[in-house]
Amino acid sequence: MIRTSRHLADGREILYFDDDRDPAPREAVDTRDLPAVVTRSQLRFDPLLAEWVVVAAHRQTRTFLPPADQCPLCPSRPGRPTEIPEGDYQVVVFENRFPSLATDVARDVAPAVRGNPLAELRPGFGRCEVVCFTSDHDRDFARLGAERARLVVDVWAERTAALSALPGVRQVFCFENHGEEIGVTLSHPHGQIYAYPFVPPRVEKMLASVRRHREETGGGLFADVVTAERSGSRVVAANEHWTAFVPAAARWPYEVQLFPTRRVPALPALTGAERNAFVEVYLDVLGRFAHLFDTPMPYIASWNQAPVTDGRDDWWLHLQLFSLRRAPGLLKYLAGSESGMGAFITDTNPEDVAEQLRAVVLP
């Protein structure tokens, strides 16, 4: 993999990643007249839930559902410069123009929110990156092909390592939102990477469960779950290195988790063989999501990696793939119980979901 670093007109970094078997010079210059990026993010601590909330009110003006011929993630063309100055590319990563977190935010903030000394206040430090999987506007991840998908995996791993090395970063989160129903505002195939200055609630809760399980049973929770699911009825696809299964207590109507056979804390620790094997299983599952109903499934693909420092010896890397579609033309809304109390009520049976996905005939 060849990595080329350049800068956009407003100073943001852009990184080109190319297969080393097909190198290309990356020398195009961003000709746009862009104002400097201004980030006013704050972190506010909720003392009742013991969770951090990112306040990023400046993002209200971000790009929203532009027509395809005005897509800012497509390659630049004569007379129409975009976020990517080159006329073509393989995989590109750049700093988000409307970031929730940034490295250059003001550090001099009050210790607490005005009027509530228990609501601790911190700068909105971190980094938010956009990952464009392909220059082809209409080619989603399920149709990238094995070689390009493997390049994306390598990019995720490289960015995880690079962002983890930033002082103050405690968690790196790679994810993809796919489909307008999910809230995607740019239809070009892309994902994002967040470098958080805190450990998110989901990870903290899982680590607490791992520690409790060890105290109560002496065993490893992740290992026990993976061992049980690999031989169960909820497996959707598997190979030597990965297993994709519907979790026994799935929260979402259609949810699949992908676990490597070998415990590793994060993407950079995967071997070449394990990365190839992931691509095989992941593209298989995405194909099943795309062809289960008459239209492709909207989804969120969420990498669950170990924190930068905490709990790495306990963590087991995995990817959570889920959709809020519960039937053709019908969505699962997070209403009173889910949104108000955090208590999920599912509309589907996990064993039935696994059977439906296995039964999909892939083209």
What positions carry a catalytic annotation?
Answer: 190
Can you list the positions of beta strands (E) in 133-253?
171-178, 190-196, 235-238, 242-245
CB-count exposure of residue 34 (10 Å: 0-12, 13-18, 19+): middle
Q: Are strands 330-331 and 325-327 parallel, antiparallel or unpaired?
A: antiparallel
Side chain identity, residue 2: I
Distance CA(171)–CA(29), nearest Å, equals 32
Distance CA(17)–CA(161), nearest Å, equals 15
Buried b (16+ CB within 10 A) or exposed e, 130-141: bbbbbbeeeebb
Residue 56: CB atoms within 10 A of its CB come to 19
Q: What residues contact residue 108 under an 8 Å CB cut-off, 6+ apart?
A: none
DSSP string, 74-136: SBPBTTB--SB-SS--SEEEEE-SS-SSBTTS-----SEETTEEEEEEEE-B-EEEEEE--S-
Do residues 150 and 111 touch, judged by C-beta distance below 8 A? no
Q: Which of 315, 118, 277 is nearest to 285 (CA)?
A: 277
